[in-house]
Structure 1
Amino acid sequence: MPETDATEKIDSNLFITVSGPPGCGATTVCSQLADALGCPYVSGGDIFRELAEDRRLTLNQLTAEAETSGEIDRALDERLQMIAEKWGMSSKPFILESRLAGWLAGDRADLRIWLDAPEEVRVGRIEDRIETEAEMRVREVSEAGRYEKYYNINIGDREFYDLHLNTARWSKQGVFTIIRAAIESYDPTDDEGAFETPIVETQ
């Protein structure tokens, strides 16, 4: 089956969250979806950089501070939650991407996606980034511990996601084609209900 052209527009007003570990392909998918839907998308990485600029810190300095203070994570997640609240009421297409996007958006999200890939694949994908393989692994463990400590979130609990994809099994365009099909075939009259998402208190 030929892959769908990413430039073809998608007629939808869904609020979509995209989550996954480093190297899962979330940035690529979000860019493709934003172009096809003609909508904005916000990533947790962008908000983290904004927080660093607000505090006049480098990303590494802010990351180190987040390791010792819950205030950084809570500030980041509170901003993401406020964005989710705003767009959840807009009836317009929007994409929110972060590790906790599905949790933070809760039932405001229409479609919650988790992307993943085997660790060796993800490591290969981040080779051209500043972050090393060891740093990636340490960050994942650290973040998981902080999510559980602050919000009682088990990041390994993914049962409420509507779509869970191993992005190593398809090309970038193939992954997009699958997600596109899920969006275009969604009909609210056929929707019998999403899994409940636990409420996250960021304050």
Structure 2
Amino acid sequence: MIITIGGPAGSGTSTTTKLLSEKTGIPYISAGDVFRQMAAERDMDILEFSKFAEGNTEIDQEIDQRQARIASESEDLIVEGRLSAHFVDADLKVWCNAPLDIRAERISQRENKPVDVAREEIITREESEAQRYLEIHQIDINNMDVYDIVINTHAFKADSVAEIIVKVTEVIRCQQ
């Protein structure tokens, strides 16, 4: 089974992906993993490669293409990334979300920064990404039509979010 997990910063996609992988035994890749691999291939550290990737649409496109290729060569895989559902032929496409203030609090704790700073960074990043996704891929990141399920990760504990997805995969398997 191929599953994509997407969502905005701080929505719990990484946690959900790891827990889902543990519960199902399905391996996972993330857009971040692919990004780090691409940096290593160019003998760059993450910061150097991030600078290089700014304004370089080919990098964004390569990340998406690699994820899609890896998924197409796999029988079972969880693919985590904000745009993965748009490029990966998946059996289940999941979008995780949470209220902005909750996401800011999570990032604040994770990155040891003030909540108001995290909140402003999220807003700036999301505006920038929305514009880039539209320009590069003609994708409106706020259109949820591509997703099979959308989960408010603030409404459930992390383990429960993964369990919801497991239950949905069981339903899908029964229908195949």
Query: TM-score, length-normalised on structure 2?
Result: 0.88
What does 1:93-112 align with in structure 2 at a 5 Å threshold? Answer: 93-105=76-88, 108-112=89-93
Q: Percent identity?
A: 34
Distance 1:103 1:23 in 2: 20
Distance 2:18 2:138 in 1: 31
> 1:113 matched to which residue of 2?
94
Unpaired stretches in structure 2, ≥5 consecutive residues: none
Distance 2:20 2:78 in 1: 8
* Conserved 8 A contact 2:17-2:80: yes
Q: Residue 72 in 1 paired to residue 59 in 2?
A: yes
Structure 2 counterpart of 1:171, from 154, 157, 165: 157
Note the aligned Cα RMSD (angstroms).
1.9
Query: TM-score, length-normalised on structure 1?
Result: 0.77
Report how far residue 144 of structure 1 moved: 1.6
Unpaired stretches in structure 1, ≥5 consecutive residues: 1-13, 192-203
Distance 2:47 2:173 in 1: 44
Q: How many residues align structurally? A: 171
Q: 1:139 to 1:52 in 2, by over 3 A?
A: farther
What SS is found at the alignment partner of 2:135?
A: helix
What SS is found at the alignment partner of 1:50?
A: helix
Q: Aligned letter for 1:22?
A: A
Structure 1 segments of 4 or more deviating over 4 A? none
Q: Whose helix proportion is higher, 1 or 2?
A: 2
> 1:151 matched to which residue of 2?
137
